[in-house]
Structure 1
Amino acid sequence: MFSIFKSKPVLKDLIPNNYVDIHSHLLFGIDDGAKTKEDTVFIIQSMKSLGFEQAITTPHTTPLVWDNTKEGILSKYQEVKAVLPQEAEALKLRVASEYLMDESFLKRIASEELLTLKDKCVLVEMSYINPPIQLQDILFQLKSRGYDIVLAHPERYNFYHSNTDMYAKLKKMGCQFQMNLLSVTDYYGGHVLEAANFLLKNNMIDFVGSDIHHSKHIKAFESKVQVKDIGNFEKAIENNQFFRI
């Protein structure tokens, strides 16, 4: 009976000391994440203090916005390791990319090997305005080339909040779901929290990621967890051990 009144946990208290993060934007000067070397140092030190043991950082590849190339991302990664060797080693820092699924992505799939989280696991996202017209074709092309699809933050796509049947369809099309850690708080708002509740309740979340860009995200780890199914949330955190090296 007393569990009804039990205080909700703070998000940072649910992060285990062996946590492996698979989504962040901590390479400075490459996208909307860290801007300076000092920003990168702050983020890495903060991640370590929260219990992060390893991290795969994932700069955006978003044509016309952050038009990064595979070569450019790898070059920036090597630069960060060179100028911040202790910090990079502290997180066993690796690099992949968060690819926007659009028409140009189909050409990219056909012309180059993608930067992956591990083996053939590729992190992809959609526009927050609407899903890509070519969504089914993109997912099919990824699967046909042997990629394992990890869809970033499905709970944040507002166009699915009133069409939750699409989540099951995305699963059938081969998507694994990566939820943002902050989505279990009220950081992104009530609609995202409601979607996170739905996905956790239906055991649809495979992995989690911090999606850390800046100090405001770090501060938000002090917020209380608002989702109901903390058990499935903790299970998804544990699933990230798949990406351990």
Structure 2
Amino acid sequence: MKINNLVDLHCHILPAIDDGSPSLEASLELARQAVADGIHYILATPHHMDRHYLNHAGDVSAAVKAFQVELDANDIPLTIFPGQEVHLNGQLMENVDDLLGIDASRHYLLLELPHEMVPSYLDEMIFQLSCKGITPVIAHPERNAKIIAEPQRLYKLAEDGVLAQVTATSLVGTFGEQVQRTAKEFVKCGLVQVVASDAHTLRNRGFAMTKAYEVLNEMNSKYPERFATNARNLLNGDKIKARRIEVPRKQRKHWLS
């Protein structure tokens, strides 16, 4: 199946701002690849407040405006919105005014956990964000080592109203069988609500959105429309339709069919 006008809510497409793209030329090539993959809208989400990058809200907004000018000049039919992939840290609430949401009203925030762990203060941070009317959307939980080992952790977060984003390349198997298995399990259990590319110019970090939607369709013919609608609703700051969640199977080192 082919889906056009896809919304990609996690993409490192801005030039020379993080590890996503080294130059304007590389970013324009990423943009062409996105359009070829059926994407029409991208939320630019450079890393923010991790160990390597600080991308302040105003700087990101300015970079998006400048890049949109280049896209239009090169006749690339892509619309870019400013966002951030905000890394979880203890200073988050002190800097909340410098955070860009998935939507302009910051009802939703793309939140990245450390790759190997789930910090003990995550629950407190989620509560503090909720007091500000912000719902975290956890980026690529299927690639977090602790959540892979203990997938019920994501279920507990979902019970608290937290949303999550699965990576397209995870669903199609680029990150290996274990990550793909975990990604599909989270989709099946209703623990991830949206698929996004997390595209970089790095090797094996392309878009794969059309292929991911094909995987979703193979799993359940209702999934593609649901995930596409969720992406639009998150970008617009609208509520997404609640779905029953299930406890995922515990991971094992060796799986028997």
Which of the five TM-score ranges fits, normalised by the shorter chain? 0.7 to 0.9
Structure 1 pair 240–24 and aligned structure 2 pair: CA distance change class (3 A): same
C-alpha distance in structure 2 between counterparts of 1:27 and 1:172, whole Å: 34
Q: Does residue 217 in structure 1 map to residue 202 in structure 2?
A: no
C-alpha distance in structure 2 between counterparts of 1:222 and 1:17, whole Å: 9
Q: Does residue 183 in structure 1 map to residue 170 in structure 2?
A: yes
Q: Measure how far apart 1:131 and its partner are.
A: 1.5
Structure 1 pair 206–88 and aligned structure 2 pair: CA distance change class (3 A): farther
Q: Which residue does 1:59 correspond to in 2? A: 46
Structure 2: runs of 5+ lacking an equivalent: 237-257
Structure 1: runs of 5+ lacking an equivalent: 1-12
C-alpha distance in structure 1 between counterparts of 2:62 and 2:22, whole Å: 16
Which of 136, 147, 153 does residue 160 from structure 1 map onto? 147
Q: Measure how far apart 1:68 and its partner are.
A: 1.9
Q: Deviations over 1:91-128 (max 9, x none)?
A: 1211110100111223223xx15201113211111010
Structure 1 pair 126–80 and aligned structure 2 pair: CA distance change class (3 A): same
Q: CA RMSD in A?
A: 2.5
Richer in helix (by share): 1
C-alpha distance in structure 1 between counterparts of 2:45 and 2:232, whole Å: 17
Q: Which residue does 1:3 correspond to in 2? A: none
Structure 1 pair 244–171 and aligned structure 2 pair: CA distance change class (3 A): closer
Q: Which residue does 1:116 correspond to in 2? A: 101
My pick for the range that moved more, 88-97 or 117-126, is 88-97
Matching of residues 1-245 of structure 1 within 5 Å = 13-14=1-2, 16-86=3-73, 90-109=77-96, 112=97, 114-118=99-103, 119=105, 120-214=107-201, 216-218=204-206, 229-231=219-221, 233-234=223-224, 235-243=226-234
My pick for the range that moved more, 227-236 or 181-190, is 227-236
Letter in 1 for 2:171: V
Q: How does the TM-score come out when normalised to structure 2? A: 0.80
Secondary structure of the corresponding residue to residue 90 of structure 1: coil
C-alpha distance in structure 1 between counterparts of 2:70 and 2:157, whole Å: 41
Letter in 2 for 1:237: A
Secondary structure of the corresponding residue to residue 79 of structure 2: coil
Instruction: Calculate percent identity across the aligned residue pairs.
Output: 22
Aligned residues: 230
C-alpha distance in structure 2 between counterparts of 1:155 and 1:218, whole Å: 17
Q: How does the TM-score come out when normalised to structure 1? A: 0.84
C-alpha distance in structure 2 between counterparts of 1:222 and 1:146, whole Å: 33
